[in-house]
Amino acid sequence: MVLLYNFFARKRAAESAEGQPGKPGPEVPGTGDGRSHVFVYGTLRRGFSNHRFLTGARFVGPGRTAESHGLYLEDGIPYLAAGEGRYPVVGEVYAVDAAILAGLDELEEHPRVYARRPAAIVLDDGRRLVAWAYFADEPRGAPLASGDFADARGASPRRGPDDPGGAAPR
């Protein structure tokens, strides 16, 4: 009974952290159930090379950044550049536990290559929330014409074996 109660209490907490249509979400990227929300816009997205790092994560929904940013591409790898005002950047939100988040930080070389910072997100169904996103303070390559990595010619379906930032199977 208590277990069941805890299950529903956690579920409610997660849902309330996932925002409401047109309303601003919470200020921190937590879900209220001990997990964190993360917004992914590049190789971590479904169908791309690093998606397996989200194994065990709960998919919350597709969305985009509430603010306009820049999205750069070099060698098939995208870089989110804050404050460039080009376009909202398209991606997906997941609820992740501390172990998954630590794995993502390692993969993205936070805070050296990508810095994980909160971003305001609007889900496609209209809900608004705040999620972690991997920003690049020194974006590499050239800006894309759209904020959707999937539109990019040369969006890498997988990281090459000699890419030092690549995701070796482990």
- DSSP characters over 87-107: EEEEEEEEEE-HHHHHHHHHH
| Residues 6+ away with beta carbon under 8 Å from 61 | 92, 93, 123, 124, 125, 127
Name the catalytic one among 18, 27, 74, 108: 108
Between residues 60 and 77, which has the closer beta carbon with respect to ligand PCA?
77
Q: Quick one: which H or E segment has residue 113?
A: none
118: which strand partners?
Answer: 132
Residue 115 burial (10 A CB sphere; 0-12, 13-18, 19+): middle
Whether 92 is catalytic is no
Binding site for ligand PCA (CB under 6 A): 40-45, 50, 77-78, 108, 114, 134
Between residues 45 and 64, which has the closer beta carbon with respect to ligand PCA?
45
Between residues 22 and 47, which has the closer beta carbon with respect to ligand PCA?
47
Beta carbon of residue 46, minimum distance to ligand PCA (angstroms, whole number): 10
What's 111's DSSP letter? T
For residue 170 the two structure tokens come to 């482990």
Beta carbon of residue 2, minimum distance to ligand PCA (angstroms, whole number): 38
Beta carbon of residue 78, minimum distance to ligand PCA (angstroms, whole number): 5
Instruction: Give CA–CA dist 15/26, Å, rounded.
Output: 12
Beta carbon of residue 19, minimum distance to ligand PCA (angstroms, whole number): 20
Q: Which residue is nearest to ligand PCA (CB)?
A: 42
Between residues 22 and 112, which has the closer beta carbon with respect to ligand PCA?
112
Q: Give catalytic residues, as residue numbers.
A: 108
